[in-house]
Amino acid sequence: MTVRLTMLCASAAEGGHDRIFGGGAASERRRHEPGVATAAPPPYLLVLRGPSARCARTAEALAIQATPDDALRDLDYGAWAGRSVQDIAAEDPHGLSAWLTDPDAAPHGGESVRRLCRRTAAWLGALPAGPGPILAITEASVIRAALVHALSVPVRSFRQLEVLPASAVTLTLRDGRWSTRSGRLTVPWRWQPAADGSAAVTLLTMPDTRQHPSAPHRPAMT
């Protein structure tokens, strides 16, 4: 059984005092970053996206049709959605501190990091194996959760996994083991015609990437 999944981050970078929980509309600069707005649609077996407008815009910029998948939705920030970290820090510093340090905390009344990781692990476990790759356009939080599962690291590592805007992470499940590869999309996808003139084969050009150690596949967290 082999699953090849590329996860493309469509969300703004997390962190910073001006960060808005749940993100917001993508800026013009962000929508036209190299490797996103100029990319061409590759022949993926399956193309999915998060339900947010941000993910929809990214799919539109790529000129591909992606099926919305609710399992790829961002972390539910509850009452904090749409508010800045700075505002929450001033209003509820203890709640913010708990949320930043405890993966089971949900002071906003929404979803805890652990619940997000469980949801994402269940989604990964349900992906179909096949000869073609899968593309998922989603949020940084979902990609972090996927890495927690694929690398079999503690959920507390969630915030130490950096996922940049317009970056891509490729997860491959083979013989029960996940391997990961990550890098920033800096040049467009391009089409390479097949030798027999049939369906094109897509080349995704990326800069040097960091290869994470393979980690044994584990069942979804309970």
How does pLDDT run across 11-67, given as a tens digit for each residue?
553 443 346 787 654 444 444 443 443 444 457 889 999 999 989 988 888 888 899
Q: What is the mean pLDDT of the chain?
A: 76
Tokens of residue 208, six digits: 């040097």
HSE, CB side, 13 Å, CA atoms: give it for residue 43: 12
- Distance between CA atoms of residues 187 and 206, nearest Å: 7
pLDDT score of 31: 44
Query: Which of these, 130, 144, 134, 102, lies nearest to 15 by C-alpha position?
Result: 144
What is the percentage of the chain residues whose pLDDT exceeds 90?
50
Residue listed under structure tokens 């929450």? 88
pLDDT bin (cut points 50, 70, 90) of residue 183 is low
- Distance between CA atoms of residues 140 and 162, nearest Å: 8
* pLDDT of 210 higher than 50: no
pLDDT score of 217: 45
Helices 113-125/140-150 angle, 10° precision: 70
> 83 to each of 6, 78, 94, how far by Cα in Å?
30, 10, 16
- pLDDT tens for residues 123-162? 999 999 888 889 999 999 999 999 999 999 999 999 999 8
pLDDT score of 92: 94
- Distance between CA atoms of residues 62 and 58, nearest Å: 6
* pLDDT of 196 higher than 70: no
pLDDT score of 153: 95
pLDDT bin (cut points 50, 70, 90) of residue 103 is very high
Residue 81 neighbours by CB distance under 10 Å: 15
* pLDDT of 198 higher than 60: no
